[in-house]
Amino acid sequence: MSHTERTTRTARFTVDPDFTVGPVDPRLFGSFVEHLGRCVYTGIHEPGHPTADEDGLRTDVLELVRELGVTAIRYPGGNFVSGYRWEDGTGPVGERPRRLDVAWRTTETNRFGLGEFIAFLRKVGPQAEPMMALNLGTRGIPEAMDLVEYANHPGGTELSDRRIAHGAKDPYGIRLWCLGNEMDGTWQTGQKTAEEYGRLAAQTARALRQIDPGLELVACGSSARGLPTFAAWEATVLAETYEVVDHVSLHAYYEEVDGDRDSFLASAVDMEAFIKEVVATCDHVGARLKSPKKLTLSFDEWNVWYQRRPNPHPVADWQEAPRLLEDVYTVTDAVVFGTLLITLLRHADRVAVACLAQLVNVIAPIMTEPGGPAWRQTTFFPFAQASRYGRGTVLDVRVDSPAYPTERYGDVPLLHATAVRGEDGGVTVFAVNRGRNAPLDLAVALRGLDLGRVVEHSVLADSDPEARNTLDEPERVVPHAGEGATLVDGTLRAVLEPMSWNVIRLL
């Protein structure tokens, strides 16, 4: 039966509270703010904007960030961090230096720095935790130690007193730190071999733990699963760092290539394999070291990103905050994005942190115009719903689904799904029908669960797979109510629209 036939078929799975993946770490719903394009300037920070507050933060963006439900926010990069002097973003704004950012060939004004970032997080809310990236490209151990002391020490030293003099009496209390960024990448300023990076990361980790043994540290994994050094890089780096770090990073981006939409819709197959392979490598190193410790993963860059598309906005070198990587997402992109969220949840036992890259304007769920409005992209909705309803314990979902053929991944199930049981005992099913033309019947057997009704069936789908939200039509795509979902005799039944993201809440 071909993928294009308009025939309804049935996918099934069973949920049982005795069979679980594990609890969801709230930091699974993190994001990423890099000094890249308009993520910071005219994104979250625009003094003079009609909605700007006393710190120059756009309150219209703050409201959307709160609605999105992001938790850990990684900063300040990304590729940007590998040439960054953290001191440049401290002290009186008028005295801060302008620098060339060689990562993105722009000029960095440093009007927004560490203090402004912490102020932004505090206004987002208590759920927003800083995740700081350290420059291990052009800098090293002393500068990393200095930053931790500046940010976290209460006072009485030159660096901590400098923070106090800069207006921050209380320490920032940053617990989560990235030991560099994509250090295997040829594009990275200060690229290193696995041996070089592993040694430096281990030395830096030990030095930081001398300041504060309670820090959480992330070692750089491979920049991409497709690199020739993938897995060998992790094995070499972790041989040095295994006992002194808590997490290893993964980065992955997906896009439709050469019109192969069926494979694009199956992108989560690659993400699932990536996670399993990194877990296997971590556990192999742990076994070699005879360590009882289990490393977890920090999937601190993930998204749909059309890297092969040319920038529609011509940009000259060394501009300030030019329009870069401003992808406008379709319904198709949002459905794929939803499968990536499902994948992260399905591996909640080993994925402790995940950061959607990025937060505003740059391959982002939130878009803004300088001096103008802010609006939600199509990808905003799956993330906000997953963050809101995906808290609790992930149930072990084994899908029995019809499949469809793809050029890249072979036969792939039409249904991609997971389920999360909340503290109130309710269950939320997250499900994607990858089928482009036909609806899919869903039957979920509920065992050992005292559930009586369907509270909501929310659907993100559209008759136009290219539909998107724009400045002119900011609400062209929004979730709508699904029809006909029932819970009878312990079985949930629903119909999933073609190429759709679905959230079904049960109580």
Q: Give 121-133 pLDDT, tens digit per residue.
A: 999 999 999 999 9
Q: Give the integer Cα–Cα distance in Å for 240 and 439.
A: 50
Residue 312: what pLDDT?
86
Exposure string for 321-341, b = 16+ CB within 10 A, e = fewer: bbbbbbbebbbbbbbbbbbbb
Cβ burial, residue 473 (10 Å; 0-12/13-18/19+): exposed
Domain ranges of the chain: 9-19+396-506, 25-389
Q: Give the integer Cα–Cα distance in Å for 280 and 288.
A: 12
Residue 404: what pLDDT?
98
| Confidence category of residue 460, pLDDT binned at 50, 70, 90 | very high
Per-residue pLDDT of 155-182, as tens digits, reads: 999 999 999 999 999 999 999 999 999 9
Cβ burial, residue 476 (10 Å; 0-12/13-18/19+): middle
Name the 3-class secondary structure at 75: strand
Per-residue pLDDT of 235-291, as tens digits, reads: 999 999 999 999 999 999 999 999 999 999 999 999 999 999 999 999 999 999 999
Per-residue pLDDT of 328-356, as tens digits, reads: 999 999 999 999 999 999 999 999 999 99
**Percentages of the chain per state (helix, strand, coil), in multiples of 5:** 25, 25, 45
DSSP letters, 348-415, are: TTTEEEEEEE-SBSSS-SEEE-TTS-EEE-TTHHHHHHHHHH--SEEE----B--EEEETTTEEEESE
Per-residue pLDDT of 481-497, as tens digits, reads: 999 999 999 999 999 99
Task: Tell me the two tokens of residue 472.
Answer: 């002119």
Task: Tell me the two tokens of residue 96.
Answer: 């801060």
Its sign, for the CA torsion 188, 201, 70, 387, is positive
Task: State which amino acid sits at residue 369.
Answer: E
CATH 3.20.20.80 fits 25-389, yes or no: yes
Q: Give the integer Cα–Cα distance in Å for 492 and 12.
A: 10
Residue 7: what pLDDT?
52
User: Which residues does the annotation mark as catalytic?
Assistant: 182, 301
From first CA to last CA, the distance across the chain in angstroms is 36
Residue 313: what pLDDT?
84
Residue 8: what pLDDT?
61
pLDDT of 419 above 70 = yes
How confident is the model over 223-230, as a mean pLDDT?
A: 95
* Architecture in CATH for domain 9-19+396-506: Sandwich (2.60)
**Which pTM does this prediction carry?**
0.97
Cβ burial, residue 215 (10 Å; 0-12/13-18/19+): middle
Per-residue pLDDT of 350-395, as tens digits, reads: 999 999 999 999 999 999 999 999 999 999 999 999 999 999 999 9
